[in-house]
Structure 1
């Protein structure tokens, strides 16, 4: 007698997205210094049919919601967690920009741990590329 193994959360997500007709979710990662380039990549991906997720709070630009340094640090932790959620939802990842900081490096590692394909707008900055 064969017993079916319960579906993993990843398998359930994949089946749910398929049932909803969601076939290509891409998340953009990178430093917010590349916000304008991220917008261009988001447009390009949207035009080819992808559902695009990206960071939307540019904490490098002054805003009342992160004016207080203590609140800003707490918000950054929350936003980093939200971005990891976006990576979990994504089918693939695009890293934007020609610089990889610690946060982006951690996002790349996380995406790769999850088996997500990772592409770079500037492949030479891939931390796992030969010679990098």
Structure 2
């Protein structure tokens, strides 16, 4: 006798978002040097009826939360994990900017490993192209 397989957490999340009639969720990725472009992408995606999540901190700008180099490393690790959670939550990834650094490349790889579609504001920087 075979038993039905249990849904994965990802399947449960997808079903819950469907039952809640949530709009499409887009996570913005990219270097924080493109924060202005991320804000513009946020505006456009929101105007198109999508929920947008994006980096909430720019560690390249001075702030007391990461002024200590040791604490800055801990903050960066927490923010990286938080951004991976945003990718898991999202239905799609939008990569902003004409440059892909190591962190963004890792986020793209992670998103694709989860089967998330990835769009680019500058398709020529797609590492898979």
TM-score by length of 1: 0.95
Looking at structure 1, the residues matched to 117 and 66 of structure 2 have their Cα atoms a distance apart, in angstroms, of 32
5+ residue gaps, structure 2 = none
Give the whole-Å Cα distance in 2 for the aligned partners of 1:67 and 1:3. Answer: 55
Name the residue aligned to 2:19: 19
Q: CA deviation at 1:2?
A: 5.0
Q: Distance in 1 between matches of 2:113 and 2:30?
A: 18
- Matched with 1:29 is 29
Q: Following the alignment from structure 1 to structure 2, what is the Cα–Cα distance between the partners of residues 88 and 43? A: 22
Give the total of aligned pairs. Answer: 129
Q: How does 1:60-79 map onto structure 2 within 5 Å?
A: 60-79=60-79
Unaligned runs of 5+ in 1: none
Looking at structure 2, the residues matched to 70 and 20 of structure 1 have their Cα atoms a distance apart, in angstroms, of 42
Q: Secondary structure at the match of 1:119?
A: strand
Which residue of the partner structure matches residue 7 of structure 1?
A: 7
What's the TM-score once normalised by structure 2's chain length?
Answer: 0.97
* Structure 1: distance between partners of 2:34 and 2:88: 22
